Structure 1
Amino acid sequence: MKENTLNMTEGNPVRLILIFSVPMLVGNIFQQLYNLADSVIVGQLIGADALAAIGSTGSITFFFFAICNGFGAGGGIVASQSFGEGDKEKVKNCIANVAYLMFLVPAVIGTIAFFTAGQILVLLNTPESILPVAKSYMRIMCLSIIFVSLYNFVSSMLRAIGDSKTPLYFLIFSCFLNVGLDILFVLYFNMGVFGAGVATLISQLISGALCLIYAIKSNSYFKLSRQNLRVNFLLMWKCIKIGIPLSLQFSLIAISCMALQRVVNSFGAVAVAAFAATSRVEQIIHMPYQTLSAALSTYCGQNFGAKKYDRMINGYRKAMLMMATFTICMIPVVQIFGHGIIRMFVKETSVIEMGANAIKITSLFYIFLGMIYTVRGILNGMGDSFFAMFNGIVEVIGRFTVPFILVAIPVIGVWGIWWSLGLVWFMAGTTAWWRYLYMKKKILK
């Protein structure tokens, strides 16, 4: 079998970023189909309350997933820098040590999350009408944490060495499996929201296991000797040193999302359902930005390891131009077709009306959202752990303060939820830009 790797330290930056990005973008589209399948099938077949139950758990499960995924992302950065250095044995040892972290951390986090699910939902003021269903769904998601981490571990290691295609193949398979199981469990077995959760769990388990098996059989970097399997405390500490700030960044953002969810919950089931629908739309909008960020992170990681700093900055500038082009194209689409987009998720007119107006508000701030991701890509590739934590703190401050202020203003009211999202993107985007200018000056001295 052909080994897929991509050396991004030589060649045209735009071409390399696009070659790496396209499979990841397709993969991200299918990744979101997990969420869309649950939301559309549950929202259309069961109703708005069921959609609200799933939506009310989103920020909580994101918090627990974020802690685990931060370590995988940190390991991916170390692996990409090692690949840029041309040290194959170091890359192999990195893969083994990240594997240890990605088994232990999710096992602990998943256990804690499972047993505290009910208390957390109550703390977030989840409406009583959806609380039992939300608790059931959240516990299934907690059980799936270790399986999601398995897939994310393999995919982050493959992407670090330039292989963005292999994770895509198994993600597509997993997505179709998830949709099929969703229909089977929800429509034919009448298992409701619980069935949607089980479908996601099973599909994540199968895709993660198959992706790992394929990587071991087809990629020489995954063919580990006994020497490669040794615990390397220095290498593991480097992964942890980068991974902890990334975990803090992701988890702090998740905590801020939970704070926002509590505000949303206080406005009742219609607002919760509308927020759940708009969150799914925003996840789709995030995809190209996330893809560009991940591609830029690998590109910059390899070039940082190779000490090609001018090349790294040139790639970042081209990525910013690509981000701006996408943003300009997406804003009118959301403004014109907002009602039709929300109608895909629910039938209730009140939810459609609120959701459509909401995404029109947030679309005005997409450029700052794109800025966050693009700057994050270059800084993560450089291993700038301070930025990750700082960026998370900025979002926490924004989401803990701005929504409460805006919704308290009578003329704004519930719409303050979505205005606050845009303003927080503005805060995080501008502070990220400041950090980039500082780091650019530092490395070019």
Structure 2
Amino acid sequence: MMSLDMTQGKPLRLIVRFALPFMFSSILQQLYTMTDSVVVGRALGAQAFAAIGSSSFLQWFLLSAIIGLTQGFGVVLAQRFGAKDWQGFRRAVSMSLMLAAGLCALLTLIGLVFLEEALTLLGTPIELRAYVSQYLRALWSGLMLSAIYNVCAAVLRGMGDSRTPFIALVISTALNIVLDILLLMVFGMGVAGAAIATLIAQAVALGYCLRTLWRSQLAKPLREDWALDRPTVRELLRLGMPPMFSHMVISTGELAMQSAINAYGVDFVTGMTASQRYFSLLNIIGSALEGAVVTFVGQNVGAKKLRRALDGTRAAILLGVASALATTALVVIFAKPLIRFFLPTSGAEIVGIGMGALRVEAFFLIALYLLCLYRAAIQGMGDAIVPMISGFLELALRLVWVLWLAERLLGREGLYFTDGITWVGTAVYLIISYYKRRAKIISELEAQAQ
């Protein structure tokens, strides 16, 4: 395991060094997602492809709670690592694992019990319901694997190690692709086979990360570290619950978006699904920089190097803006072949839907990058409330646009603009909040220097 002390050295170089494995991890995830979609579409047909796309927001609703919680845990871990509080770090590891496991058990139960009601509420097309239900029941049965993996990844990244999660993802992605082809094309297991392939690959990734952590003297909890540590639990929940609620609130807005998409029928769902498959790919650099900034700021705040935390944030934002502009240009130019990659046999109308949605989303990409990076800096400083408020703002903007404005102003094409309008409004709030906090920090530093 290679931990990285981000309190020493050139900020931008450290941020890029941390972000690169993170970015390659995202590329691998997208490689898997694309391969999975292509295999499902060609082995099972367009309806199965649309069904998995239609299920993605509901799937994300539960997973986002776990990811949000572990993001908050990562701030605590990074700060304790930066402060070189090794006993506190180990206790944060053990309490994080226990809290995530408890939350996951509750979410799994809720998801499996209320799945059919959720599909009805979302207006999932009747042609897709059997596929969606079968896929999600299989996938959610192994949700605990995702929960523990995300804790392990948060621990490793809190130590500045983004390399181990990357290697784990390389292994699991390769395995997932092989299993997809084997279970769907050879054994004909249907959409459940795609879910089972994902779970097996996740188990392998988790095993690799656990093996690495348990070999580390810094991260492996001792027997006494498993005893309930109330102050650590309170700190983990203080920083973990707000982003968890924020992610779930954002996901609620995305569910409303999916419901609106479903109302326009299978062709519209298929075109939008092809476009949505590129969302994470568009945000690869932004997401990687976000993870790096959280760790960089967290470690430096823990080490009381506030000026360094601000300087690193500024450098990451400039890099993020340049990356967003370059990505937007490429997507606008190559939108048609990108959509055709998923829908090689679909008609012009479906492809046109996918192209329109993809180009509009790419146009607003700079707002998404700014949202991610300013939110990351605020989280790294230990402020979980502002990011949570931003989540509620994102929900409000999404609902107002989807429920009242989109169709009235632009018809069904108005749904193409949902993400972009949401990103712009939320980014403005986070930018204002960050610079208020930055001004306060600079004022305090100047007062200390006098």
1:255 aligns with 2:252: yes
Structure 1 residue 294 displacement after superposition: 0.6
Structure-2 residue corresponding to 1:355:
354
Structure-2 residue corresponding to 1:332:
329
1:152 aligns with 2:154: no
Q: Percent identity over the alignment? A: 30
1:367 aligns with 2:390: no
**Separation (CA, whole Å) in 2 of partners of 1:337 and 1:187:** 30
Structure 1 residue 348 displacement after superposition: 0.6
Moved more, 346-355 or 195-204: 346-355
Q: Which amino acid aligns with 2:377?
A: I
**Separation (CA, whole Å) in 1 of partners of 2:163 and 2:259:** 39
**Separation (CA, whole Å) in 2 of partners of 1:286 and 1:432:** 18
Q: Normalising to structure 2: TM-score of the pair?
A: 0.96
**Separation (CA, whole Å) in 1 of partners of 2:78 and 2:239:** 13
Structure 1 residue 47 displacement after superposition: 2.2
**Separation (CA, whole Å) in 2 of partners of 1:383 and 1:47:** 47
Structure-1 residue corresponding to 2:377:
378
Name stretches of at least 5 consecutive residues in structure 2 with no aligned partner: 445-450
Contact 1:111 1:142 in 2 (8 A): no
Name stretches of at least 5 consecutive residues in structure 1 with no aligned partner: none
1:265 aligns with 2:258: no
- 1:247-292 CA distance string (max 9 Å, x none): 0111011110000000000000011111211111111112211110
- 1:110-131 CA distance string (max 9 Å, x none): 1211121111011100000111
1:390 aligns with 2:389: yes
- 1:158-190 CA distance string (max 9 Å, x none): 100111111111111000111111101111111
Moved more, 141-150 or 29-38: 29-38
Alignment match of 1:307 (pick from 296, 304, 307): 304
Structure-1 residue corresponding to 2:23:
25
Count, aligned residues = 441
**Separation (CA, whole Å) in 2 of partners of 1:332 and 1:173:** 32
Structure 1 residue 320 displacement after superposition: 0.7
Structure-2 residue corresponding to 1:197:
195
Task: Give the 5 Å matches for 1:216-255.
Answer: 216-217=214-215, 219-255=216-252
**Separation (CA, whole Å) in 2 of partners of 1:48 and 1:407:** 27
Contact 2:282 2:362 in 1 (8 A): no
Structure-2 residue corresponding to 1:69:
67
Alignment match of 1:141 (pick from 133, 139, 142): 139
Structure-2 residue corresponding to 1:110:
108
**Separation (CA, whole Å) in 2 of partners of 1:10 and 1:373:** 24
Structure 1 residue matching 2:75: 3-state secondary structure? helix
Structure 1 residue matching 2:224: 3-state secondary structure? coil
Structure 1 residue matching 2:27: 3-state secondary structure? helix
Structure 2 residue matching 1:72: 3-state secondary structure? helix
Q: Normalising to structure 1: TM-score of the pair?
A: 0.97
Report the aligned-residue RMSD. 1.3
Alignment match of 1:13 (pick from 2, 11, 14): 11
Q: Which amino acid aligns with 2:68?
A: G
**Separation (CA, whole Å) in 1 of partners of 2:404 and 2:312:** 39
